[in-house]
């Protein structure tokens, strides 16, 4: 779909790139059994199999402030969870 959008309309604006990145995050999350990701301030709440996941008894935190960097952080977290 990305290639088709670029072919028809040229390079997309950053907002469209972020939309694609969020969609890719959703696909990654679904592949890893994640049903929900919620970010409150910098805390990441991930639900998989009906359970909230924590790291060392705490919610992971985002380090970056830029939207695209945060999405990359979330994708890394989701893929680090392994399979279902």
**What pLDDT, on a 0 to 100 scale, did the predictor assign at position 83?**
62
- Cα three-residue angle 67-71-73, rounded to 5 degrees: 115
Q: What is the dihedral of CA 61, 25, 35, 74, to 10 degrees?
A: -10
Is residue 1's pLDDT more than 90? no
Query: For 68-80, what is each residue's pLDDT tens digit?
Result: 999 999 999 999 8
Read off the pTM: 0.84
Query: For 34-78, what is each residue's pLDDT tens digit?
Result: 999 999 989 999 999 999 998 889 999 999 999 999 999 999 999
DSSP for 1-70, please give it.
-HHHHHHHHSSPPHHHHHHHHHHHHHHHHHHTTEEEEEEETTEEEEEETTEEE-BTTB--B----SHHHH
Is residue 82's pLDDT more than 80? no
């Amino acid at each position: 779909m990305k290639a088709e959008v670029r072919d028809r309309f040229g390079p997309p604006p950053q907002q469209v790139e972020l939309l694609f990145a969020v969609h890719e995050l959703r696909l990654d999350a679904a592949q890893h059994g994640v049903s929900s990701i919620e970010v409150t301030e910098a805390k990441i709440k991930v639900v998989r199999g009906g359970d909230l996941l924590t790291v060392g008894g705490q919610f992971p935190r985002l380090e970056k402030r830029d939207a695209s960097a945060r999405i990359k952080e979330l994708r890394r977290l989701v893929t680090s969870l392994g399979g279902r």
